[in-house]
Structure 1
Amino acid sequence: MNMQVNAVMAPPAPKSLEGMQLPIVMMRDIMIKSMFRTNMTIVSDIARVICLPIPVTQELIEIARSQRLIETIGMLSPNSAGELSYQLTDAGKARALEALTQSEYYGAMPVPMAVYAEQVKRQSIRNLQMTRDRLTSAMGHLILPPKLIGELGPAISAGRSILMYGPPGNGKSSISNGIRDALGDKIYVPRAVEYAGQVITVYDPIVHSAAEEDLDDPNAIRRTSGKFDTRYVKCERPTVITGGELSLDMLNLVYNPVARTYQAPLQLKATGGVFIVDDLGRQEDPPQKLVNRWIVPLEENRDILALQSGEKFEVPFDTLVIFSTNFHPNEIFDQAALRRIFYKIKIDGPNKQDFLKIFAMIAKKKGMPLDEASLVHLLKNKYPTIENTYANYQPGFLIDQIISICEFEGLHYHMTPELVDRAWANLFVKDEVIVK
C-alpha cells in the first residue's frame, strides 16, 4: 500500500512581535483580556493561553508594563522555575473590560489571513498523489467494481470537485467516507485567523481531529516551543459532512452579536480536507442555487466572505468538494453548473455476483450462517418481483432483520426461506390505499 505524501511543512513559530504581522494594540488587548479571564500570572502560563513562544510573550508583557497596564508582583513560588509573576493594574483591568465590550475573544493569538493563505498552499490537498493501492485499501470494507476505483482515483488526486450520482442505498456516503480515510496525512489548522482587525475562530473540535501527540498540556510551551507555531493545531485532514440540513446561510461567516465574535463557515473549516454535500436535492435551497454559490471557489481556489459591516474579503479555498445525489444530474443542474463540477461519477447498484459477495461478507461479519436454499429463494422468487434491482444496502438490511427475528424467537442464528420472506416484508412498503 503506497501513497506519495509530501510531508507538510509546519508553520514556523514567530520569533518576534514584529514578525507577527498583527497590530500591537490588538495583541496587547488579547493578552490582557486573557489574563483577566483566566487569572494567569506567570509568563509560561500566559504564553500557553495565547499560544505564543515565551520570548515573544515577554515582549508583549514589557509593552503592557511600559503602559502601566501590567505590574510585576515578584516570584510566584519555588515551583515557578524563577519566573516573574505579573498582574493587571487597575488601569489594565479597566482596559481589559473595555476591550471585552468590543470583542469577547481572548486566548490564542490569531493568524493574519495572508499568513494563513501561505500555510494553505504548503499543505494543499492538491499536493497529494493518490494511488490505486491506497484507495483500494481505504475502500476495503466495500465491494466496488475496479472501474469505479479507476474513476475515483484521478478525481481525488486533482482535489477539485466530484459529483456522485445514482440510485439510493448503493454506498455513495460510504465511498465519500472512504475517500476521507484514504487521505491519511496531517495538516495545521489555525485556532483563529485575523482580517481587518476582526478575529474569526477556525479550529473546531467537532470538525477537526487533533493529532494525539500535539494535544495541549500544561507543559506544551516548554516541550514544543520553536517546533511549530502553536497558534495552529496539528490535525487529520478535516471532513465536513452535510446533508438535507445544508442552507446557503451556513456558508456565510457566523457572527455572534453578543460576544462580537466571528466563527468560520463550514467550507473554511474544511480547508485542506473534504466537504461532502450528501443527499443533494433534499435541501431547502435548490441544488442549482447551492452549486452557483460554489462556482467562484471551485474555479478560482478562493472564496468571498463578508463582515457585518458589509466589507467583503477573500479567503483561501482548498477543499475537495463531493456532491452526492440520488437524482440524475440533468434533473437538478443546467449544463453551465455541470461544467463547473470536474468529475461526474455514476454509482450503480451491484450486479448479482457482487450482491452475493456483499451478502456473504456481511453474513460472516454478523455471524449468520449462509443457507443455499434461502439464497436461491431470495434470488429466484423475491428479486424478480422488483425487476432484479440489487442495492448495496439490501444484504445488511435483510440479515439484520433475520437476526432480530431469531433473537426474538429464541432461535440460534440461521436462514430459512420463511425467515427471508419475513425480512423481505420490511424491505419495501406495498402500495395501497389507506381507508381513513
Structure 2
Amino acid sequence: MNMQATNVMAPPAPKSLAGMQLPMAMMRDILLKTMFRMNLDLVTEIAKVICLPVPVTQELVDLARTQRLLEATGTLNANNGSEMGYQLTDAGKARALDAVAQSEYFGAMPVPLDVYREQVKRQSIRNIQVTRDQLTAAMGHLILPGELLDHLGPAVGSGRSILMYGPPGNGKSSISNGIRDALGDKIYVPRAIEYSGQVITVYDPIVHSAAEEDLDDPNSLRRTSGRFDTRYVLCERPTVITGGELSLSMLDLVYNPTARTYQAPLQLKATGGIFIVDDLGRQAEPPQALVNRWIVPLEENKDILALQSGEKFEVPFDTLVIFSTNFHPNEIFDKAALRRIFFKIKIDGPEQEDFLKIFAMVARKRKMPLDEASLVHLLKKKYPTIDNIYANYQPIFLIDQIIAICEFEGIPYQMNPDLVDRAWANMFVKEEKIVH
C-alpha cells in the first residue's frame, strides 16, 4: 500500500474509556495526579491536559466519583457557563499522593504500545515515495554528480539502511540532511506510550518539530477537537543526528529513578523518520559493535528494549538509518555486517570541472571576484602538490580564508596568486616534528 507523502492517516480520537486498552487504575491515577499537581477542577481543562476528548474525560471523572475519590464542588463555575467543578476528596488526595510515590508521571494519557504500533504502520517511512524531482530540489544547494542521485533515489525510497562512505569534506552530512528535507511530510508522534503499566515518554521538542496548529481561535479549536487523538503531536518526520558521541547505552531505555518513568531511546524517537550515524568510526565503541546492535532492527523492523526489571519487549523499528564514514567499509565491518546494510554509496571528491563550478558558486555567494591567474595558479601549482585530489569543502575554505586576509589588510575583496598561497597554507599542516 503506497501512500503519497502527505496523506498520513491520523490516529482516531478515543471514543470511550473501555476502548482505550489502558488499565483503568492507571488512567484514574493519572487523572488524580494531574488534578492534584495542576490544581484543576473543570472537565474541559482536565481534558486538554490529559489529551482526551471531553466525553471520555467525563467518564473517567464519573468513575473516580463512584470510588469516592472525587466530589462535585456543588458550585457551577460562573466563568464557564454551566460547567460543574470537581475536587479531590480526602481519600482522593491520599490516593494521588500514593500514586505520585509510585510514578511522578501526570498529564497526557499514554498510548498503549499495541495501539501505537498500528499508527506506525499507517505512517511508515517505507510507504514514502521520493521522486527524482523532490530529491534534486532538496539537494539543490549541492553540486553532485548525476549518477549519485541515481543511487540515492532508490535507497531513500526503499526506507532501508544506507552506508555513505568516502574521503572527508565531500558533503556526506549535507547529503544526509538533504535526504531529510526531501521527505517533507508530517507524522503523528505520541507524547508517551505505555507498556506493562510503565510510561515511556517519546515526544521530545529537541528531536521533534511540531507543526504549527491554529490554537488561538476558540471556534477553530472546537472544530478540530476530535479530528485526531491529541495524545499525539503532529510533527515533521523526525531526524536524529549523532556523531562521535554515540554510544550503545544511548540506544537503551533511559530510566528516571526520581520520576519513575522511562524516556524513549534515540532510535524510538526517530520512528517514522531518519537516524543518521555521522562519522562512524570515531565513536568510543567499535563500528562493528554499533552495527551489530542495529542488525535485528534493520532486518526485522523491530527493536528489543528492556525495563528496569529485566523484562524485554518489542517496539516497532521504522527508521531510515544512514551511516556515514570516512573509512573504507572493509576496514571497519565484517562481510556479514556489510551484507545487512542494504545500500552502499561512495561519496567521492569532485572532478576538476565540478570543483570549478563549486568554486565559482561560492565566490558569487561571498561576493568575491574570480581571477583567472589565481585559478590557474591554484590548479597548476597548488593541487599537483596533493596529487590533484579535490574535495567539496575546499572552495569554501579557500575563499573564506582570502576574505579574512582582505579584511585584515583593509583591501577590497580580491583574488591573486599571493593571496591563494596564504589561504592554501592554512588548509594543510606541514608534516614536521615538534620538539618538546
SS of residue paired to 1:142: coil
Q: 1:26 to 1:246 in 2, by over 3 A?
A: same
In the alignment, which residue of structure 1 is the partner of 2:49?
A: 49
Q: 1:219 to 1:278 in 2, by over 3 A?
A: farther
Q: 1:260 to 1:106 in 2, by over 3 A?
A: same
TM-aligned CA deviation for residue 222 of structure 1? 3.3
What is the distance in 2 between the residues matched to 1:214 and 1:291?
Answer: 42
**Greater CA drift, 403-412 or 98-107:** 403-412
What is the distance in 2 between the residues matched to 1:208 and 1:297?
Answer: 22
Matched, 1:162 2:162: yes
- Amino acid corresponding to residue 288 of structure 1 in structure 2: Q
Q: 1:363 to 1:75 in 2, by over 3 A?
A: farther
- TM-score, normalising length: structure 2: 0.97
- TM-score, normalising length: structure 1: 0.97
Matched, 1:15 2:21: no
Residues 122-137 of structure 1: pairs in structure 2 closer than 5 A? 122-137=122-137
Q: 1:432 to 1:339 in 2, by over 3 A?
A: same
- Amino acid corresponding to residue 381 of structure 2 in structure 1: N
What is the distance in 2 between the residues matched to 1:402 and 1:144?
Answer: 25
**Greater CA drift, 214-223 or 182-191:** 214-223
SS of residue paired to 1:213: coil
In the alignment, which residue of structure 1 is the partner of 2:153?
A: 153
In the alignment, which residue of structure 2 is the partner of 1:114?
A: 114
TM-aligned CA deviation for residue 81 of structure 1? 3.1
In the alignment, which residue of structure 1 is the partner of 2:277?
A: 277
In the alignment, which residue of structure 2 is the partner of 1:24?
A: 24
What is the distance in 2 between the residues matched to 1:292 and 1:380?
Answer: 46
TM-aligned CA deviation for residue 76 of structure 1? 5.5
Root-mean-square deviation (CA, aligned residues, Å) is 1.5
The unaligned stretches of length 5 or more in structure 2 are none
Q: 1:220 to 1:428 in 2, by over 3 A?
A: farther
What is the distance in 2 between the residues matched to 1:387 and 1:224?
Answer: 63
Q: Is the 8 A contact 1:75 1:82 kept in 2?
A: no
Q: 1:257 to 1:203 in 2, by over 3 A?
A: same
Q: Is the 8 A contact 1:4 1:129 kept in 2?
A: yes
Count of aligned positions: 434
What is the distance in 2 between the residues matched to 1:399 and 1:177?
Answer: 24
What is the distance in 2 between the residues matched to 1:229 and 1:116?
Answer: 11
TM-aligned CA deviation for residue 181 of structure 1? 0.2
Q: Is the 8 A contact 2:5 2:183 kept in 1?
A: no
In the alignment, which residue of structure 2 is the partner of 1:305?
A: 305
Q: 1:215 to 1:149 in 2, by over 3 A?
A: farther
What is the distance in 2 between the residues matched to 1:413 and 1:215?
Answer: 49
TM-aligned CA deviation for residue 214 of structure 1? 6.2
Matched, 1:332 2:332: yes
**Greater CA drift, 402-411 or 288-297:** 402-411
Q: 1:66 to 1:166 in 2, by over 3 A?
A: same
SS of residue paired to 2:11: coil
What is the distance in 2 between the residues matched to 1:145 and 1:5?
Answer: 26
User: What whole-Å deviation, never above 9, does each CA across 1:12-62 have from its counterpart, x for those lacking one?
Assistant: 000100110001100000111111111111111100110000000000000
In the alignment, which residue of structure 2 is the partner of 1:240?
A: 240
The unaligned stretches of length 5 or more in structure 1 are none
**Greater CA drift, 80-89 or 174-183:** 80-89
